Amino acid sequence: MTATRGEFHQQHLEQAQAKASQLFAQRPVLKGAWLTWVAGQLYTLSPGEYASMVRRELQRLQTSNEALKPLL
């Protein structure tokens, strides 16, 4: 029996958030090379649905980070 999309999302959300946080933490270290590096990291993730979840979490982190910049 395969999991529905919603079940898959629930089962893997914490893992995807943790992976996105790990990848995002490398941004200040890698600077300009980060985007290419993170694209390669996302390419290695599977299944594709999980990679998409990590990508969405990275976008959320990026948006949150940009929103905080004026406050810093």
Over residues 24-34, the pLDDT tens digits come to: 999 999 999 99
Report how far residue 56's alpha carbon sits from residue 20's, in angstroms, rounded to the nearest whole number: 9
Res 21: pLDDT: 97
Which tokens belong to 68? 């905080």
| Tens of pLDDT, residues 50-67 | 999 999 999 999 998 887
Amino acid identity at 27: R
Q: How far apart are CA 29 and CA 11, in angstroms?
A: 30
Which pLDDT value is given to residue 65? 84
Using DSSP's 3-state secondary structure scheme, residue 63 falls into helix
Domain ranges of the chain: 24-71
